[in-house]
Amino acid sequence: MTPRVLIVDDDQALCETLDAGLVRRDFHVAWCTSGDRALTLIDEGDFDVVLTDLHMGRLDGIGLCQCVVQRRPDIPVIVLTAFGSFDTAVAAIRAGAYDFISKPVQIDVLGIALRRASERKALHEEVKRLRSAVSTAPSDSRELIGTSPAMCAVHDVVARVADSDASVLITGESGTGKEVVARVLHKTGRRREGRFVAINCAAMPEPLLESELFGHARGAFTDAKEAHVGLFAQASGGTIFLDEIGDMPLALQPKLLRVLQERTVRPLGAAGEVPVDVRVIAATNRDLESAIEERRFREDLFFRLNVIHLALPPLRARGGDILILAQHWIAKTAAREKKSILGISPAAAEKLVAYSWPGNVRELQNCVEHAVALARYEQIMPEDLPDKIRSYKSSHVLVAGDDPSELVPMEEVERRYILRVLQAVAGNKTAAARVLGIERKTLYRKLERYGTDG
């Protein structure tokens, strides 16, 4: 969008000069020669930035800045000061000015400052919109937050399959909210009155995991003094969520496959089978197709689990959802901590959007809790954020620098890029091959040549 700028200066010739220079730099400009007229224009129109001189008639630049801050705190004000006038610059900042520019004005420097200020206003408006979006979200979907195209696709699939009994496989990087999606599927489906039972398949050794899933009869093994009802039987009529399914021991996979096929379980040491009526939702951050090729996961079990596939996007691919989620957790955390924090300052929002979020949604939640604990004002400020987010700078693949000695062969450029893509997708070779536009077998061959598994 073209930034809308209001110039206020009692020097008409300067106003006309700045108008001409800024229009050539793709700004929409209005100007006037008094502070009183500026307030009228601000009340009647909508501007992204106000640029005002300090020394004018009845209402000077400091007074105008104070009025704009009171009436329209969302509009940043930039003040023009005399060259080297430090005291007036400090006074302008204290009055609420966003920035100050020294005269004589360099039009390119002014353009950069105005564009940065207009982006700040846009972020301010986005934060307000997202705060409203969180507060008005339907209660059934309040846990599954996001309006980005990637999340809209997830919402669509969840709504269409919630009432189905078909097995669902949820994939995505660690921290993307796979269990949240599983719970929403349960809560919005026809099994909502039944139990939702969750288990992490990587959290316990194989014998204990088998007993937890399928149960055991009394005397089935040492210390089995009482019969134990397994989680499949406990979840009958509801949903069982098998998290980290990619880490399930290979020896247990045939038994799980039989449960999915026959809808019965045989507890350890029991003589007969017990029927179960349960919906199965599984989740993993691993590349199961690669695991199948490496014979660490059964292909037939994969097909049984992967009737409906839900791929959750990483947080870095969800755009404005970062701020929606941050606002959601600010409200929850501030209420729990009994702190009066209303939202995120535009400067802090800019830091959150720029960060890459390798820990995804879970990392963002931790970041918000950290910020709320440190916050001293009604908004989260940049200094409240963790150090690594405040100081984050995006990295790029190094191809070559200015030094000719840094020039590298094309094969080395390809190697660096492939490894960078693998890092970005958390080692998921299927996703990396898709991004690179090559077959997975080709990717495997290249990694083998590089002497790494990625």
Determine the 3-state secondary structure of 382 from DSSP: helix
Residue closest to 422 by CA, chosen among 440, 401, 402, 410:
440
- Please give the class, per CATH, of domain 317-390: mainly alpha
Ranges of each domain in the chain: 4-133, 144-311, 317-390, 404-450
Q: CA 42, CA 75: separation in Å to the nearest integer?
A: 9
C-alpha separations of 54 from 9, 78, 198, 385 in Å: 8, 10, 64, 34
Q: Which fold has domain 144-311?
A: Rossmann fold (3.40.50)
Give the model confidence (pLDDT) of 134-157 as tens digits.
Answer: 554 444 444 688 888 889 899 999
Domains 4-133 and 144-311 share a fold: yes
Residue 101: the pLDDT is 86
Kindly report the pTM of this predicted structure. 0.62
Superfamily of domain 4-133: Response regulator (3.40.50.2300)
Q: CA 50, CA 77: separation in Å to the nearest integer?
A: 5
Tokens at 271, concatenated: 């003589």
* Tens digit of each residue's pLDDT, the chain (454 residues): 688 999 999 889 999 999 999 999 989 999 999 989 999 999 888 899 999 998 887 888 889 999 998 888 888 999 887 755 667 777 878 888 888 888 888 898 899 889 888 887 777 776 666 555 555 444 444 468 888 888 989 999 999 999 999 999 999 989 999 999 999 999 999 999 999 999 999 988 888 898 899 988 887 676 777 888 899 999 999 999 999 999 999 999 999 999 999 999 988 888 788 899 999 999 999 889 889 988 999 999 999 999 999 999 999 888 878 988 998 899 889 989 888 887 888 788 888 988 889 899 999 999 999 999 999 988 899 999 999 999 887 555 455 444 444 455 677 778 888 888 887 777 788 878 877 888 888 888 888 777 776 6
Q: CA 96, CA 117: separation in Å to the nearest integer?
A: 13
Residue 6: the pLDDT is 94
Cβ-based burial of 415 (10 A; exposed 0-12, middle 13-18, buried ≥19): middle
Tokens at 58, concatenated: 């009845």
Do 231 and 213 contact (CB within 8 A), yes or no?
yes
CATH architecture, range 404-450: Orthogonal Bundle (1.10)
143-177 burial: b if 16+ Cβ within 10 Å, else e: ebbbbbeebeebeebbeebbeeeebbbbbbbbbbb
Residue 141: the pLDDT is 43
